Structure formats: C-alpha cells, structure tokens
Amino acid sequence: MSGPRKPQRIIPIQPLFASDPKVYPRSVSGLFQRWRWVFAWLTQIVFYGLCWLPWNGRQAVLFDLDARRFYVFDFVLWPQDIIYLAVLLVLSALALFLFTTVAGRVWCGYTCPQTVYTEIFLWIEQRIEGDRPRRMKLDAAPWSAHKIGLKTAKHSTWLVLSLWTGFTFVGYFTPIRDLAAATMTFSLSGWETFWVLFYGAATYGNAGFMREQMCKYICPYAQFQFVMFDPDTLIVAYDEARGEPRGKRSKKAVPAEQGLGDCIDCSICVQVCPTGIDIRDGLQLECIGCAACIDACDQVMDQMDYPRGLIRYSTENALKNKSSRATIIGRSLRPRVLIYSAVFLSMLVATVWSLALRVPLKLDIERDRAALATETTEGLIENAFRLQVINASEQPRTFAITVGGVAGIHLPQNLELTVPAAASGSVTAQVRLEPGAVRAGSHPIRFTVVDTVDPQVAVTEETRFWMP
Ligand code: SF4
Ligand code: SF4
C-alpha cells in the first residue's frame, strides 16, 4: 500500500523576455541635439562618400577580398600585413576604454551607427507621421486610407535608405562603380545581391524596429561599459539635490516657499528619451548618453526662468561634492586616464611610424621540396629556392635578387624579376657553393631583393643552405 501522496510544489513560470512598450521619442532641439546632427552628417558623409572617391586610378578605400588586397589611399595591404588590422582593433579598443573612462557613453550617444541610423529613421518618421502625440494617435487609430498612406510612405523611404546603405557597404568590398553598373543591368552576382539585401534588412530592422532594444539587450559594449566607469566619469545626470522634491507649480511660484525643488515634474525629459527611461531614477544601463534630456530640461528651465543644468553632464563625485566645472575637468586627468592615454598614444605613434617606414615590398622564400641539395655538372653544391616577391606599390617594378651570408655563395647568373603594380611574382633561385666551403649541415644565408631604379625599396630575408 502506498502512503498519502505529497502535494506537488508548483513552480510559477517566469517569462524570459518582457516585451517593452513602444517608445515614441518626442523631437527636441538644443545644443546637444545640434552636435548629434553634426556627428550624424560627418559619419554619413564619410560612409556614403568615401567609397566613391577615386585614388590612383582605383577606389581610395577598397577591401578586395577576392584578390586578398586592401587599398587604403596610398597603402596596399596584403594578408602579410594582417598585423596592422590587429593593431587597429587594439587601438580602437583602447580608444573606447579611454573615452568611456573620461566621458562615459559619448560613442553611443553621438557616433554609434545604431544611434545615428535610429536618429535618421526617427527624423523620417517625424517628417511623415508627425511628432510624438500624432504618432501615438496614428498607431492607436484603426487602419484607414490615410494611415496606410502614411505608413507606406514611411516604410518606402526607410527601405530606399536601407538598400542604399546595404549597397554602399558592399561597395567597400566590390568596386562601387562596377557594382552600380551591375545593379543598373540587373547583373549583380548572387553574393553581391545577398549582402546588399542582408545589410539593407539589418539597417531597416535595427533602425526602424529594434532601436533601443539593440542597446538594451544585444550590444555587448552596453553591458560591460560600466566596468570602465568610475565616480569621476562624465555622465548625463539629474541633480537630485536641486530638483527634489519635484512637483508641479505655477511659473510665478517660488519653489522654496512651496517646499519644492526645481523639477516641475513635466516628464518632458522622459518623453524625449530614445530609450524611454527616466533619468531622474539615476544612472541606468539603458542610458545611451545622448543628452536629449539635457536639451529638453534646459528648455523647461528657460521657460520657468530657472538656471539651466538641472540635468547636465557631470560626475558622481561632482554631484556629491557640488564641484565646479574646473574641478571636473581637473579630475579627468586621473592616473587611470593618463595610463590609458600613454598606452594609446605610444601605440598610435609606433603604428604611424611603422606605416611611414613600411617598404612596399615583401619576400617569401620556400625551399625546393624535391631535394635538399644536388650536385651540378661543375661539381658545385646547389640548393633551389622559390622566391615569391610581392610588389605592394602602385607602379610596376623590376627587382634584382642577390644572395649572401656565406663566403663564396652565389647565383649562376644575374637574377631579375619584374612584378606588375600591386601584384606578386615568383622565380626559382639556384644557390651554389663549392663543396667543403662550409662544414656539412645547415647554414644561414640571406636573399636580398632590391628595386633596380629605387634602391630604397629593398628587403632581405633569411633562409638556410644545406651542405651534404
Ligand atoms: S524635464 Fe526637467 S523639469 Fe521636466 S521632469 Fe524632467 S527633470 Fe523635471
Ligand atoms: S536618459 Fe537622457 S541621455 Fe540617457 S538615453 Fe535618455 S535622453 Fe539620452
């Protein structure tokens, strides 16, 4: 017989994702809004324009993956130059650490593509559907010819911009003029079509629909950046000591007499926020540092004849200690910032120096695999090598090849190789030595490749000669 059954414990099911209500940011004007548009224009002029810039008869910036060559103005980078890409990534990470430590989320607020495209898409939305109250009303209204017309106009404009963005992006990997010609004649390759549509769809989805969700849930930088913050990092902050207790009042009322702070609880700062948060609740992960709430609150303060800056750029320490602007600036030169700056600047200088001194020539040596050493009819010991010479400049060059490193080592005849611009060429070099000139075994030797016209363009690489 079994005993009485234990009552089962019911575990409530928790949803893993809570869908957020749609954010309808209100339009705002002011100093920081102007700066956001300056950065939006600058970044977009560079992005949409740079790929059309001609340089030395080709595209100024082109990542030609098929030919495994990157063109960046005068530089032609080969797979062997991958170190520069690694250095660029390290420099970018260091710059991000540095700017985040000093000025918080300036990257997110002003130059991140997600912010910039959301701003552009929102601008289109506002032009077509109106500002926040009209958009909210339109979305709540039943479908009508008017609503369908507005939505069609908005999505069509978004789609055109998204496809242009996808096309431009692919234009950095396929010469954009060829891409344009192929688009006109409907002869884009399958991959080109896929990537244009893919990046177009990503832009449309991220800037049109995902918006602040990208920053809140997907962007890894948003998740770990608080590690780089300290109490002296510049943040967008609400001055609680000055603003509280918040409350509505007439313009003529004196807040102190009513026991009120300067916040009139108008919620405009919340309405303009692209992530829909209330900055008065303190620093939050969702705050992208766009400063829209500063502009909005400053306008409210102007209307109330209160001093500006209830919401402002400040630091935790400055708010706590009521520090002056000079103190805030002085604290930006703290040890952590100085160390980041020193590392960043030294790496930057070393990279620029290395690029300036970079010889546009590379040499790869490969030993003939058939035999380590052979004996010639003249009785000399011969090792054969395959030399691959990469001409990383934009003019054809003729190179003279010599060998040295061991007394008496030589090539049977003068060896020259002409390599076209931004191309590679290879040649076999038979290196000869008298038997017994060195003891049996492996000996270091050097190949030198020199431009016959410009001796500054030269490179020397080591390999080993095998004496049986
Ligand atoms: S905009 Fe300024 S005054 Fe209005 S609620 Fe926000 S902090 Fe208060
Ligand atoms: S709280 Fe202010 S700075 Fe932060 S995201 Fe919202 S509007 Fe931008």
Q: From CA 102, how far away is CA 337, in angstroms rounded? A: 7
Does residue 347 fall inside a structural domain? Answer: no
Residue nearest to atom 4 of ligand 2 (CA): 287
Nearest ligand for residue 266 CA = 1
- The residue whose CB lies within 8 Å of the most ligand 2 atoms, and thus the one to mutate among 211, 271, 275, is 275
Is residue 180 domain-shared with residue 200, that is, in the same domain? yes
Whole-number pLDDT of residue 21? 84
Question: How large is the average pLDDT for residues 90-116?
Answer: 92
Going by pLDDT thresholds of 50, 70 and 90, the confidence category of residue 9 is: low
The answer on pLDDT for 18 being more than 80 is no
Residue 350 located in a structural domain: no
160 and 65 housed in the same domain: yes
Q: Which of 270, 295, 321 is the last residue of a domain?
A: 321
Q: Is residue 311 scored above 70 in pLDDT?
A: yes
Is residue 18 assigned to a domain?
no
Residue 374, beta-bridge partner list: 382
Looking at ligand 2, which residue's alpha carbon is closest to its atom 8?
A: 290
Same domain, 165 and 249: no
Range of the domain at 414: 361-467
Q: Which residues pair with 418 in a beta bridge?
A: 398
Read off the pTM: 0.83
Going by pLDDT thresholds of 50, 70 and 90, the confidence category of residue 11 is: low
Residue 8 has pLDDT above 70, yes or no: no
- In-domain check, residue 400: yes
Weakest mean pLDDT among 10-24, 290-304, 332-346, 427-441: 10-24
Q: Please tell me the distance from the alpha carbon of residue 271 to that of residue 291, in angstroms, as a whole number.
A: 13
pLDDT for 394: 84
224: Cβ–Cβ under 8 A, 6 or more apart, which residues?
none
Cis check: omega of the bond before 420, within 30 degrees of 0: no
441, part of any domain: yes
**Between 224 and 198, where is the model more confident?**
198
Q: Which atom of ligand 2 is nearest to the CA of 278?
A: 1
> Does residue 421 surpass a pLDDT of 70?
yes
Look at residues 174, 203, 227 and tell me which one is the last residue of a structural domain.
227
The minimum-distance atom of ligand 1 relative to the CA of 293 is 1
131 and 197 in a single domain? The answer is yes
Residue 371 φ then ψ, to 5°: -150, 140
What does the pLDDT average to over 200-217? 93
pLDDT over 80 at 441, yes or no: yes
Query: Exposed, middle or buried by CB within 10 Å (0-12, 13-18, 19+), for 335?
Result: exposed
SS (H, E, C) 371-438: CCCEECCCCCEEEEEEEEEEECCCCCEEEEEEEECCCCCECCCCEEEEECCCEEEEEEEEEEECCCCC
| Predicted local distance difference test score (pLDDT) of residue 69 | 87
Q: What is the CA radius of gyration of the chain?
A: 33
Q: How confident is the model at residue 67 (pLDDT cuts 50, 70, 90)?
A: confident
Q: Are strands 397-404 and 415-419 parallel, antiparallel or unpaired?
A: antiparallel
Q: Within this chain, do residues 268 and 378 fall inside the same structural domain, yes or no? A: no
Tell me the backbone φ, ψ of residue 395, rounded to 5 degrees.
-135, 150
Q: Are residues 201 and 269 in the same domain?
A: no
Domain boundary among 192, 212, 227: 227
Asked whether 114 and 206 are in contact (CB, 8 A), the reply is yes
The token pair at 327 is 């103190």
In this structure, which ligand is nearest to the CA of 281? 2
Ligand sitting nearest the alpha carbon of 279: 2
Same domain, 250 and 397: no
| Encoded tokens for 374 | 């052979």
Number of domains present in the structure of the chain: 3
Q: CB of 365 within 8 A of CB of 447?
A: yes
Ligand 1 in contact with 236 (CB < 6 A)?
no
Q: Are residues 81 and 161 in the same domain?
A: yes
Q: Going by CA atoms, what residue is nearest to atom 3 of ligand 1?
A: 263
For residue 245, say if its preceding peptide bond is cis, omega within 30 degrees of 0.
yes
Span 91-116, average pLDDT:
92
Residue whose entry in the numeric block shows the structure tokens 């990469």: 390
Whole-Å CA distances, 6 to 2, 3, 9, 13: 11, 9, 9, 21
Residue 191 belongs to a domain:
yes
Mean pLDDT across the chain: 92
Compute φ and ψ for 32, nearest 5 degrees.
Answer: -75, -30
Is the pLDDT at 4 greater than 70? The verdict is no
**CATH code of the domain covering residue 400:** 2.60.40.10
Residue 7 falls inside a structural domain: no
Confirm whether 140 is domain-assigned. Answer: yes
pLDDT-derived band at 2, boundaries 50, 70, 90? very low
DSSP letter assigned to residue 214? I
The protein residue whose alpha carbon is closest to atom 2 in ligand 2 is: 293
* pLDDT score of 12: 56
Give the number of whichever ligand sits closest to the CA of residue 269.
Answer: 1
Q: In terms of residues, how long is the chain?
A: 468
Query: If pLDDT is split at 50, 70 and 90, which confidence band does 356 have?
Result: confident
Task: Please report, rounded to a whole number, the percentage of residues in the chain having pLDDT higher than 90.
Answer: 78
Based on the domain organization, do 302 and 391 belong to the same domain? no
Residues 262 and 135 placed together within one structural domain of the fold:
no
pLDDT category, 1, cuts 50, 70, 90? very low
| Same domain flag for 219 and 254 | no
Do 148 and 45 belong to one domain?
A: yes
* Ligand 1 nearest-atom number relative to CA 267: 5
pLDDT digits (tens, 9 = 90+) for 155-173: 999 999 999 999 999 999 9
